[in-house]
Structure 1
Amino acid sequence: MKIRTRLTLLFTFITATLMVFYGIAVYYSSSKAREVSFYAQLRTEAIAKANLFFQSTLSEKEMHRLYKNNTKTLNEVQVAIYDSEFNLIYHDDSKVDYIKENPEMLSNIFRNKDISFFINDLQAIGTVYSHNQKEYVVTAAGYDQYGYSSITHLLTISIIAFTCILILIYLAGIFLSKKALNPLSEMVSQIKRITAGKLQLRIKTTGEKDELNELAQNFNGMLERLENSFEAQKHFVSNISHELRTPLAAIITELEIASEKEQTNKDYRQTIKSTLDDARNMARLSNSLMDLAKASYDPNEISFSELRLDEVLLESYTKTIKENTEYKVSLNIETDVEEHQLIVQGNQYLLRVAFNNLIDNACKYSPEHSCSIIIKNSDKNLHISFINTGAVIPQEDLQRIFEPFYRSDISRKEKGYGIGLFLTEKIIHLHNATIAVISENNKTVFTVLFELNPDFSPDR
């Protein structure tokens, strides 16, 4: 069922329910008002008939004739009068006695002075009437034909009006829901035109501050992120294909040459050495890509634990020196850095990869193959600086240094794939930290800033 139909039916159902409750309330109050009004009319008729009986010159026979004449045209109220001894002294028509009074009822009327009750469809009252210092019971009963006709007419009109209004509300609901959801229908039509090859298309937005416009804006934002992601993926795949194709082509060429002609043992060893170098390059690239994939995970899927940054740095530069014996790395922690300030919530493996890349990058581009690591703190941050001396990085390259697969003219002289710094930045951001680079005066400094936790207690 479409939303438009559901909204129309729901709107109609709610309105119908409210109208039913309103109709019941009106009908009930009107019925009660008719009942009270007719009881008052019965009392008036009873007192008037008693006055006529006791104070007028009309005989009882004339009063009977008057009653019978009125019943031919009106629903005349039937009145009876009893004395204190429960003796009947007057009755409009004793042959057709509506109330059928008994001593118990008359005693109740004397006791309560005034009562009212129903006898099937008839309403009746009993009241005490005083005349010449004597008390009499006057009863009156009648059928409120006019009142019941009015109530029945009201009910008929209400049912007809309810049916007509319900139909009009349903039609109005269809019109209003169609008008209200028309922008959504247009949005669906526009979305259908957006495909993987047309991610540049956008949904039209308006200046209205409503939910549909907010939905369109957020959807356009999602499309923009998807488009950027697709472009980055295409760029990534293109670069990976290029980087893998080069060592694979070299390996294939060297093995084909070695298999097609006889070579000396020295030549075979050289071929094997070259093939191993290309294979190691592919392994390094594969490891970098695996690390990049891990750093791209949802943060909720990466396990974080409490660890010390100085210990991770020690592991990183120990591993780097072991793999590159010509590298020289020093670690200096300033005296004002307290032990608890070095503790963060992080992933040890990913941080070690990031620090490895920064140390390797510093040593690789330093003429002395050296890197100096300095840890210091400020009011709110812990600073970890990776410093090397040598040729500075041009300003135009600094702006793109963290882009994937970007390599400046200086970096092309060294082996690499342009993944390291991009991967490092992702890992640093994953740990809610920032990284910045300054390259001037024959010195390049990469600085990682971890925010100090003000709630951390050194005694815990």
Structure 2
Amino acid sequence: MKIRTRLTLLFTLITALLLGIYSISIYYSSKEAREKSFYSELQNEAIAKADLFFQSSLPEQEMHQLYKNNNRTLNEVQVAIYSINKELIYHDDAKVDYVKETPEMLSEIFSQKKINFFLDNLQVIGMVYHYNGKSYAVTAAAYDKYGYDFLTHLLTISIIAFISILILIYLAGIFLSKKALYPLSEMVSQIKTITAGKLQLRLKTTGEKKDELNELAQNFNGMLERLENSFDAQKYFVSNISHELRTPLSAIITELELASEKKQTREEYQQTIRYALDDARNMAKLSNSLMDLAKASYDPNEISFSEVRLDEILLESYSKTIRENQEYKVTLNIEDTVEEHQLVIQGNEYLLQVAFNNLIDNACKYSPEHLCSINVKVKTETLHISFINTGIIISQEDLEHIFEPFYRSENSKKEKGYGIGLFLTEKIIHLHNAIIKVTSDDKATVFTVKFTL
């Protein structure tokens, strides 16, 4: 069922419920008011007949005739008067006695002074009437034809109005829901035109409107923009990876083809094997970098974080770097003002070690002395970890692109690399809610990682 139909039916159902409660309450209020009003009329008629009987000189037979004449055109009230001894004194029509008063009923009237009840469709009232110091029991009974006709008419009108209003409400609901959801239908039509090859398309938004649908369109456009950037980055990534993998693979194939096509000396075969091994190691290093990049690209919610000590990770990183590169030199200086608890953060040890390894390797690689100095200090509630090397000066233009994937400056192309390390490092640092900055001048190149305490 479509949302439009569901909203229309729900709106109609709620309206029907409220309208039904209102109509029922009006009907029963009118019914109760009619009942009370007619009892009051019966009481007035009983008093009037009793006054007429006791206080006027009108003969009883003429009163009977008056009752019969009125009864032809009106629902005349039938009145009966009984003495304290329960003897009948007067009755409008004893032959057609509606109430058929019993001694028990008369006793109840004298004891309670006033009673009222229903007798089939008739309403009956019994009351005590006083005249010349004596008490009499007066009963009055009649059928409220006009009252019941009014209730029947009210019920008929209510049912017709209820059905008519529901039909109008349903039609109005269809119109209003269609009008309200028209922008959503337009969005669906626009979304159907967006494919993997048309991610540049966007949903139409109105800057003036601040409703939920406009907000949905803006957020959807934001998602499309992120997807487009992701697709473009993926294409760029695959293109560069293909290029980086093609170079060592081509070298290995060429070397092995040459070795297989002509006879070579033992030394030449060994040299060919060494070249192939170097290219294979480069491919393995590139593969490891790509795996680390994939891990750093996970959803932060999927990466396990725990309490880690940054000084221990730094020690492990520079020990690993020196162990793999004998010519590299690394120094670690942690200022005395840095307290132990300031070195503890919530992080992923493996990813942080990858980031620090890249920064140390990068600093040693481009330093003439292959030296990286690591300084740790606290400044304005922020832990600063600086990786310093004196070597090639990085131009301002290169500094603006240094964290882009596969970007390599002209100065760095003399050394082996793939342009992944710094891009990967920045992603890892950002995953840990930290920032990384780089400065380069004629004195030194400094990469600074800042963790908020």
Q: Same fold (TM over 0.5)?
A: yes
Map 1:376-391; keep pairs closer than 5 Å: 376-391=377-392
Q: Which amino acid aligns with 2:276?
A: T
Q: In 2, are the aligned partners of 1:79 and 1:92 still within 8 Å (CA)?
A: yes
Map 1:317-328; keep pairs closer than 5 Å: 317-328=318-329
The residue that corresponds to 1:351 in the other structure is 352
Output the CA distance in 2 between the equivalents of 1:335 and 1:178: 70
Cα displacement string for residues 194-222 of structure 1 (whole angstroms, at most 9, x for unaligned residues): 11011000000012110000000000000
The residue that corresponds to 2:145 in the other structure is 145
The residue that corresponds to 2:5 in the other structure is 5
Output the CA distance in 1 between the equivalents of 2:271 and 2:434: 46
The residue that corresponds to 2:416 in the other structure is 415
Output the CA distance in 2 between the equivalents of 1:348 and 1:209: 44
Output the CA distance in 1 between the equivalents of 2:379 and 2:114: 95
Q: In 2, are the aligned partners of 1:386 and 1:447 still within 8 Å (CA)?
A: yes
Output the CA distance in 2 between the equivalents of 1:81 and 1:318: 122
The residue that corresponds to 1:116 in the other structure is 116
Output the CA distance in 2 between the equivalents of 1:100 and 1:290: 105
Shift of 1:390: 1.5
Output the CA distance in 2 between the equivalents of 1:390 and 1:153: 102
Map 1:378-457; keep pairs closer than 5 Å: 378-452=379-453
Cα displacement string for residues 205-246 of structure 1 (whole angstroms, at most 9, x for unaligned residues): 012110000000000000000000000000000000000011
Cα displacement string for residues 388-422 of structure 1 (whole angstroms, at most 9, x for unaligned residues): 00221000000110000000001111000000000
Q: Which amino acid aligns with 1:80?
A: A
Tell me, what secondary structure is at the counterpart of 1:72? helix
Shift of 1:103: 1.7
Structure 1-normalised TM-score? 0.97
Tell me, what secondary structure is at the counterpart of 1:256? helix
Output the CA distance in 2 between the equivalents of 1:299 and 1:215: 25
Output the CA distance in 2 between the equivalents of 1:292 and 1:103: 106
Shift of 1:379: 2.7
Structure 2-normalised TM-score? 0.99
Output the CA distance in 2 between the equivalents of 1:247 and 1:186: 52
Tell me, what secondary structure is at the counterpart of 2:141? strand
Tell me, what secondary structure is at the counterpart of 2:419? coil
Q: In 2, are the aligned partners of 1:331 and 1:374 still within 8 Å (CA)?
A: yes
Unaligned residue ranges in structure 2 (runs of 5+): none
Q: In 2, are the aligned partners of 1:405 and 1:417 still within 8 Å (CA)?
A: yes
Shift of 1:441: 2.6
The residue that corresponds to 2:276 in the other structure is 275
Map 1:90-129; keep pairs closer than 5 Å: 90-129=90-129
Output the CA distance in 2 between the equivalents of 1:93 and 1:441: 130
Output the CA distance in 1 between the equivalents of 2:387 and 2:306: 24
Tell me, what secondary structure is at the counterpart of 1:151? helix
Map 1:20-39; keep pairs closer than 5 Å: 20-39=20-39
Q: In 2, are the aligned partners of 1:436 and 1:446 still within 8 Å (CA)?
A: yes
Instruction: Check if 1:250 corresponds to 2:251.
Output: yes
Cα displacement string for residues 296-321 of structure 1 (whole angstroms, at most 9, x for unaligned residues): 11111111111111110000000000
Shift of 1:442: 2.8
Tell me, what secondary structure is at the counterpart of 2:184? helix
Shift of 1:73: 1.1
Q: In 2, are the aligned partners of 1:367 and 1:390 still within 8 Å (CA)?
A: yes
Output the CA distance in 1 between the equivalents of 2:449 and 2:216: 38
Map 1:45-444; keep pairs closer than 5 Å: 45-206=45-206, 207-444=208-445
Greater Cα offset, 358-367 or 110-119: 110-119
Q: Which amino acid aligns with 2:245?
A: L
Greater Cα offset, 408-417 or 113-122: 113-122
Output the CA distance in 2 between the equivalents of 1:173 and 1:280: 71
Q: Which amino acid aligns with 1:160?
A: I
Unaligned residue ranges in structure 1 (runs of 5+): 453-460
Output the CA distance in 1 between the equivalents of 2:161 and 2:320: 88
Cα displacement string for residues 4-34 of structure 1 (whole angstroms, at most 9, x for unaligned residues): 1111111111111111000000001110111
Shift of 1:60: 1.3
Output the CA distance in 2 between the equivalents of 1:192 and 1:176: 25
Output the CA distance in 1 between the equivalents of 2:341 and 2:162: 76
Output the CA distance in 2 between the equivalents of 1:173 and 1:301: 46
Shift of 1:74: 1.0
Output the CA distance in 1 between the equivalents of 2:366 and 2:223: 40
Shift of 1:284: 0.2
Greater Cα offset, 58-67 or 171-180: 58-67
Q: Which amino acid aligns with 1:297?
A: Y
Output the CA distance in 1 between the equivalents of 2:85 and 2:381: 105
Tell me, what secondary structure is at the counterpart of 2:401? coil
Tell me, what secondary structure is at the counterpart of 1:108? helix
Q: In 2, are the aligned partners of 1:391 and 1:442 still within 8 Å (CA)?
A: no
Output the CA distance in 2 between the equivalents of 1:260 and 1:440: 52
Output the CA distance in 2 between the equivalents of 1:162 and 1:272: 94
Shift of 1:105: 1.4
Cα displacement string for residues 282-341 of structure 1 (whole angstroms, at most 9, x for unaligned residues): 000000000000111111111111111111000000000011100010000101111111
Tell me, what secondary structure is at the counterpart of 1:95? helix
Q: In 2, are the aligned partners of 1:303 and 1:347 still within 8 Å (CA)?
A: yes
